[in-house]
Chains A and B, each alone.
Chain A
Amino acid sequence: MTADITQPAPHEAASSHDAAPAKGSKTAHVRGQQHPISVYLKVWGYLFVLSTMSYLVDYFHVAGLLRWVLIITFMLLKAGLIVAIFMHMAWERLALMYAILVPPLCLGTLVLLMAIESDYTFWTRIIFFGKGA
């Protein structure tokens, strides 16, 4: 289906860098994100399969390192599919991608620091509270 362009066409020709912001953004998004429905159905299917697989990890009592590897892998794959396809991040400009996807790296650092800290707390508790028990 073709888009109805409500704005006069000439703005369309403006280059991405020197377009007047208001008009440039308006005309550029009259059509918006257009992808075939099959892309979404496929991703939907993948998400179902990945969720089923992570549920089966629990169902079959997979334990230890393998459990962790499987759960985290499925989690990251699902998150990646949702952000890239459903939220259209894969088709956004790099400026937006970097602005949104780089800051969460700080969170990885926080998680790492807190994991080290909790290990320390755990052993301190074992040593001091564990005596009487």
Chain B
Amino acid sequence: MTATTTPTEPAHGVPAGEGLRTLAADWSSDQEVFKQVHWGKAMMWIFLLSDTFVFSCFLTSYMTMRASTIVPWPNPSEVFALTIGGHSIPLILIAIMTFVLISSSGTMAMAVNFAYRRDRLKTTLLMLATAAFGATFVSMQAFEWTHLILDEHVRPWGNPLGAPQFGSCFFMITGFHGLHVSIGVLYLSIIASKVARGHYERKGNYEVVEIAGLYWHFVDLVWVFIFALFYLW
């Protein structure tokens, strides 16, 4: 590696053949495949890959159920409408939740950037903002669940709106996602407080912030799929 290029750029602008040769060399070498990649980061990616499979199992089984039921599926557009100022706006609650989560991803990405610039104050504030967005998202989800359980009488084993599988799919998928968001809020708060206390400054390594960021972006990523496949279907 030359001193002029940044260490993280080798994959960029390399001719295809050479890139593949590097790939083969990495995989066929001893000891370590993911060279120059922080160990924790590689492991977080492996964990996220396994989580991808878990969520995909849920989404695939949901898709199979929804496509094979002969009882009409409740229309998400109407179920998740909110009445604001006398007008019923379709799916607006979910749209707001989507924007909240995307905003949290934006602040997280910038937190990672400021962490590598060693700007502790901005990193801490942006991470706390991310956690706050996450907490807002979970609260809105709690509101949505309450509405569905108390007003619409949706249960995991059936509901008055239509296909009984709607309840089980909905609570399983959004519940599991909400659990991820809640854990993420805790995780980010802990890392943010460690950043504020100068823990990583002493170690001289802010990779941990990027690893936490990976987890958070993944939570947003899963929501992109849930939003499209569950709510917009």
On A, residues with C-beta under 8 Å from B are 1, 4, 6, 12-17, 19, 21, 24-26, 28-35, 37, 40-41, 43-44, 47-48, 51, 54-55, 57-59, 67, 71-72, 74-75, 78-79, 82-83, 85-88, 90-100, 103-104, 107, 110-111, 114-115, 117-119, 121-122, 125-126, 129-130
Contact of B22 among A32, A47, A67, A94 (CB under 8 A): A94
A57 & B232 in contact (Cβ 8 Å cutoff): yes
- Point out residues on B near A: beta carbons under 8 Å: 1, 3, 6-12, 19-20, 22-23, 25-27, 29, 31-39, 42, 45-46, 48-49, 52-53, 56, 60-61, 63-65, 67-70, 77, 90-91, 95, 98-99, 102-103, 105-106, 108-110, 112-113, 115-118, 204-207, 210, 213-214, 217-218, 220-221, 224-225, 227-229, 231-233
Q: How far is the CA of A74 from the CA of B98 in the complex (A)?
A: 13
Contact B224 A121 (CB under 8 A): no
Pick from B19, B48, B112, B229: contact of A33, CB below 8 A: B112
Residues in B with CB closer than 8 Å to A122 are 67-70
**Cβ–Cβ contact A95 & B33, under 8 A:** yes
B102 touches A31 (CB 8 A): no
The answer to whether residues A88 and B91 also contact, given A93-B36, A103-B49 and a CB cut-off of 8 A, is no
Instruction: Knowing A32-B206, A33-B210, A118-B63 are in contact, say whether A58-B225 is a contact too (CB < 8 A).
Output: no
Q: A23 to nearest B CB, angstroms?
A: 11
Subset of 13 A-B contacts with CB under 8 Å:
A16-B10, A29-B36, A34-B116, A58-B231, A82-B221, A83-B221, A93-B36, A95-B27, A95-B33, A99-B46, A111-B60, A122-B68, A125-B68
